[in-house]
Amino acid sequence: MVAAASVVVAVGTVTGVLTAWDDGDGSDQARPSPTGSASTRLERLPVVPSSPVTPSPSRSPSASVSASATKKGAPTPSPSRTEREQRTATVHTRLYRHPESQVLDWVRANPDDPRRSVIESRIAGQPASVWFADFTPATITSRVAAVTSGAAAQGRVPVLVVYAIPDRDCGGHSQGGAPDLAAYDAWIDRFAAGLGSDDVIVVLEPDSVAQAGCLSAGDRADRFASLARAGRVLKAANPRARVYHDAGHSGWNPAAEQAALLKQAGAASPASSDGIFSNVSNFHRTADEIAYDRQVLDALGGPASLGAVIDTSRNGNGAPADGEWCDPAGRKIGRAPTTNTGEERIDAYLWVKLPGESDGCKGRPGTFAPSYAYDLAR
């Protein structure tokens, strides 16, 4: 289907795919909107600029695996009415748009560009995630704290992407990360120290579970143990942090297979997980991801409180039929970021990959390509 969920360009500044957003209204396509509030579950939610390291669309081991092939798990009984009521209780809140990003830099620097108004209103004006993809132990706490405190000051919820696991892309476009798992565990401790005490959504390591097949059985077990530990550390540091684990996407591993891997990584335990995320840096339609994520959650087990978040940043036209993953033509932005999805067990639609940041074909990996952004937005 597509290449590793994240093409990342490591730099040690607060630019790149690290932006943040406001809640949208869950429409099929993003559109100019004020930073008005939308409902969100405070009991489950929360990201800081780091280097412009952006993942590129995840590529599954077999490009021939179709979305339909992954929708074969036996569904479990639906949650009871009480469970549904507990899950759907909402309060009004807003997602955070970080004030520094590549798209905002471009908008500020190009006031007379004819593409500016479209890019500004349809992309730059939306809340988006902040990626932490460079291994910088000395500064990670302060950088995370800068994002979480900035969001808290506005009464908004930031989305942070943790992306530093060793061998994070199996040597692909986004290769990099911590030198080993011991260093990674220590880095996670420092990351957690910057989470603060307010609501925050954490997208934990795109590709780390779905693309673990490149590792030996022993290395895979060690990685999953570190991911489970990371979830526990993050949630212990801030009980209001919502931590989501890697479910790949609907065109990758079958739901039951992905759930079995996720269980090993601690995703079924409320001590380390609030659920799963899917479609990061990818293009699969929201409806396909909803169906797939529910199948994964059913197979995963765990409490009924576990939910899913979906990256809708570039899935407005669905995935290319030919499986192209690198800045494919004919795509468009998807549903606006929101925690008010109206869908059972779907906690949020997020823009994890910022539209316009290249996978490596329309620009250097992870850098902003205005022509690509304009094509997606118009």
Give me the active site residues, please: 169, 207, 359
**254 vs 92: CA distance, rounded Å:** 35
**Measured between alpha carbons, how far is 299 from 74 in angstroms, rounded to an integer?**
8
CA distance 162 to 85: 31
* Residues making up the chain, counted from first to last: 378
Contacts of residue 217, Cβ cutoff 8 Å, sequence gap at least 6: none
Q: 286-300 and 255-264 are packed helices; what angle lies between their axes, rounded to 10 degrees? A: 50
**Residue 378 and residue 374: Cα distance in Å, rounded?**
6
Task: Give the C-alpha separation, 356 to 306, whole Å.
Answer: 31
Tokens describing residue 259 = 């759930």
H/E run at residue 245: strand 241-246
Question: Measured between alpha carbons, how far is 17 from 4 in angstroms, rounded to an integer?
Answer: 16
CA distance 21 to 301: 31
Q: Which two tokens stand for residue 365?
A: 């990996």
Which tokens belong to 193? 């120290």
Distance, in Å, from the CA atom of 74 to the CA atom of 298, rounded to the nearest integer, reads 8
List residues bridging with 159 in a β-sheet.
201
Identify the bridge partners of residue 95 per DSSP, sorted by sequence position: 157
Q: For residues 242 and 238, what is the distance between their CA atoms, to the nearest angstrom? A: 9
- Read off the tokens for 218: 């022993």
Distance between CA atoms of residues 328 and 16, nearest Å:
20
